[in-house]
Amino acid sequence: MFPFLLRKEVEDEFSQENFKRIQDYFSSLAIDRCNFQFLEISVTGAVTNKKFKHRLGFVPKDIILMHNLNNQAVTWNYSLFSNSELDFDCPGSTILRILAGRYE
């Protein structure tokens, strides 16, 4: 969330309106509706239904893969995600770098 501007502290009504428009603009940006956390996951071998603790405090709906060291085919089991864990399958060892979260 972007900082809230103290518009009412400004006496000039035109300046107040400009601050309101600036606040509305930044509130409408997509980045303001995102809540993602960077995670790095080391996979040491083939896994099925591997649980990984994410500490987001909510069920993530989106995974953005940023890096897959050994280009392994990773399957994210979204229906098995929880408030504390991700669930995935991977056929071999790799290191995954992801952004986990959700776009509102």
pLDDT, one tens digit per residue, over 50-97 is 999 999 999 999 999 999 999 999 999 999 999 999 999 999 999 999
Rounded distance between C-alpha atoms, residue 82 and residue 32, angstroms: 23
In a domain, 83, yes or no: yes
What phi and psi values does residue 17 have, to the nearest 5 degrees?
A: -65, -40
Indicate whether 19 belongs to any domain. Answer: no
Q: Is 2 inside a domain boundary?
A: no
* Contact (Cβ atoms closer than 8 angstroms) between residue 47 and residue 89: yes
The Cα–Cα gap between 88 and 74 comes to 7
Is residue 56 domain-resident?
yes
- Considering the domain boundaries, does residue 11 fall inside one? no
In a domain, 8, yes or no: no
- Would the pTM of this model clear 0.75, i.e. be above it? no
- CA atoms lying within 13 Å on the CB side of residue 2: 16
> For strand 75-76 and strand 62-68, is the pairing parallel, antiparallel, or unpaired?
unpaired
Domain ranges, residue 58: 34-103
